[in-house]
């Protein structure tokens, strides 16, 4: 959960926990579908289980927070795939079915949808797990009931009609967790600062204590095709980043050391949310004050004063849909179900604008 433990100290669970949990839910989901008479071969079950176990293996240090920062041209899904392919070679092709399922090219589409859809076991696991470890009980979802309501129709994963309110509840929980945890303003601020630390280090060619990290701080290296740098990338972890930040807290560059010290001593930048973009004039005033206070030149102050958008896509209307199978055999996307109980706002992405700036600037 990248920096979420700065706000929720309990949130120290790891990607290994999540992978095992999602695997567990996959086993349950497959068993449920089989109980309903869906044919799934032993190989397909194994493939789906392998795929979910490995689905996040391409994540680098601080996962989403540094995604596409250290490696510029590949997101974690692409890297997961590359790693799976590498293992597949070593195992003489025994991972091929898992890869096909992961990629979404396998004929039984529902297997892919269990791994990567809007109601997959990945999301179910992380919502319930993050809810537990943060203590944000509003994130609890009825994962066992949702799994009991799953079925397959025309080769696609569906939810039975009577599970419709469980799905709405799942989406409400998800939206809640986004605002309360994943996009919590302090968490967001810390993650954006982390990005700026790495960018600044690259810019001024600061050296990290870790030689592996140094490679990725080199812009030439980090923009190589990922296939050329995969072995190195796999050796990179949170330790490398945090050791660098600890070292750079003493770096002569004032911007880099300011950001690193702020992180280590948990004296983060301030952050403010707004429903509309911040006015340029307002941003200018804040930048000037920040420059004055920090002694950092105005032209470089955008390392300490910056704006951006946080978007909560509870449900993505453009992605593969959550399908409801009605008793009469009709199928509808959840967003098209004509039921006054379903909150239509769940299907609209909500955007908030933020500005980060150093403490001491009244605004």
Rounded CA-CA distance 151/36 in Å is 7
Least distance (Å) from a second copy to the CB of residue 79? 20
Using the minimum distance from each CB to a second copy, give the nearer residue, 257 or 348.
Answer: 348
Q: Specify the pairing of strand 323-325 against strand 156-160.
A: parallel
User: Phi and psi of 183, rounded to 5°?
Assistant: -110, 20
Within the chain, what is the greatest distance between any pair of CA atoms? 70
Using the minimum distance from each CB to a second copy, give the nearer residue, 77 or 168.
Answer: 168
**How many angstroms separate the first and last alpha carbons of the chain?**
30
Using the minimum distance from each CB to a second copy, give the nearer residue, 41 or 343.
Answer: 343
Rounded CA-CA distance 112/157 in Å is 9
Least distance (Å) from a second copy to the CB of residue 144? 8
Using the minimum distance from each CB to a second copy, give the nearer residue, 89 or 138.
Answer: 138
Put the strands of the sheet holding 150-153 in their side by side order: 150-153, 156-160, 323-325, 331-333
Residue 31 is given by DSSP the state H
Least distance (Å) from a second copy to the CB of residue 151? 19
Using the minimum distance from each CB to a second copy, give the nearer residue, 224 or 350.
Answer: 350
Least distance (Å) from a second copy to the CB of residue 311? 14
In sequence order, what E strands does the chain have? Answer: 150-153, 156-160, 270-274, 306-312, 323-325, 331-333, 350-357
Least distance (Å) from a second copy to the CB of residue 112? 27
Residue 96: Cβ-neighbour burial (10 angstroms; 0-12, 13-18, 19+): middle
Using the minimum distance from each CB to a second copy, give the nearer residue, 179 or 278.
Answer: 179
Using the minimum distance from each CB to a second copy, give the nearer residue, 88 or 348.
Answer: 348
Using the minimum distance from each CB to a second copy, give the nearer residue, 155 or 209.
Answer: 209
Using the minimum distance from each CB to a second copy, give the nearer residue, 187 or 290.
Answer: 187
Binding site for a second copy (CB under 8 A): 9-10, 12-14, 16-17, 20, 136-138, 140-145, 165-166, 168-169, 172-173, 175-176, 179-180, 209-212, 235, 237, 239-240, 242-243, 246-247, 340-341, 343, 345, 348, 350
Least distance (Å) from a second copy to the CB of residue 155? 29
Distances (CA, A) of 298 to 86, 255, 285, 293: 47, 12, 11, 11
Residue pair 108/44 in contact by the 8 Å Cβ criterion: yes
Least distance (Å) from a second copy to the CB of residue 176? 6
What are the structure tokens assigned to 277, written together? 């973009």
Least distance (Å) from a second copy to the CB of residue 299? 32
Distances (CA, A) of 208 to 176, 198, 244, 259: 38, 10, 5, 15
Least distance (Å) from a second copy to the CB of residue 108? 27
Residue pair 193/259 in contact by the 8 Å Cβ criterion: yes
What are the structure tokens assigned to 269, written together? 């930048």
């Amino acid at each position: 959960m990248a920096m979420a433990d700065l706000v929720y100290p309990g949130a120290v669970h790891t990607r290994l926990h999540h992978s095992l949990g999602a695997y567990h839910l996959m086993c349950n989901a497959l068993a449920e579908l089989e109980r309903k008479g869906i044919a799934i071969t032993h190989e397909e079950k194994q493939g789906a289980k392998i795929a979910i176990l490995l689905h996040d293996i391409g994540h680098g240090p601080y996962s989403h927070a540094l995604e596409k920062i250290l490696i510029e041209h590949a997101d974690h899904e692409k890297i997961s795939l590359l790693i799976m392919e590498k293992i597949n070679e070593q195992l003489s092709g025994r991972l091929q079915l898992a890869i096909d399922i992961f990629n979404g090219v396998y004929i039984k589409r529902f297997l892919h949808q269990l791994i990567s859809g809007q109601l997959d076991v990945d999301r179910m696991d992380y919502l319930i797990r993050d809810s537990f470890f943060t203590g944000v009980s509003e994130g609890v979802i009825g994962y066992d009931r949702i799994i009991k309501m799953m079925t397959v129709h025309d080769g696609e994963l569906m939810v039975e009609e009577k599970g419709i309110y469980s799905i709405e509840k799942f989406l409400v929980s998800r939206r809640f967790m986004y605002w309360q945890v994943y996009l919590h303003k302090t968490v967001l601020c810390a993650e954006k600062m982390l990005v700026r630390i790495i960018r600044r280090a690259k810019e001024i060619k600061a050296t990290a204590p870790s030689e592996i990290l140094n490679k990725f701080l080199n812009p030439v290296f980090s923009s190589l095709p990922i296939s050329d740098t995969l072995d190195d990338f796999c050796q990179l972890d949170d330790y490398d980043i945090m050791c660098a930040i600890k070292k750079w807290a003493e770096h002569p560059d004032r911007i880099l050391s300011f950001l690193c010290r702020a992180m280590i001593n948990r004296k983060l930048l301030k952050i403010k949310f707004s429903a509309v973009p911040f006015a340029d004039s307002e941003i200018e005033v804040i930048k000037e004050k920040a420059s004055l206070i920090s002694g950092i030149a105005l032209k470089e102050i955008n390392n300490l004063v910056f704006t951006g958008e946080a978007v909560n896509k509870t449900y993505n209307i453009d992605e593969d849909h959550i399908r409801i199978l009605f008793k009469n055999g009709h199928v509808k996307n959840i967003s098209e179900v004509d039921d006054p109980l379903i909150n239509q706002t769940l299907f609209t992405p909500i955007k908030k604008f933020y500005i980060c700036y150093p403490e001491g600037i009244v605004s």
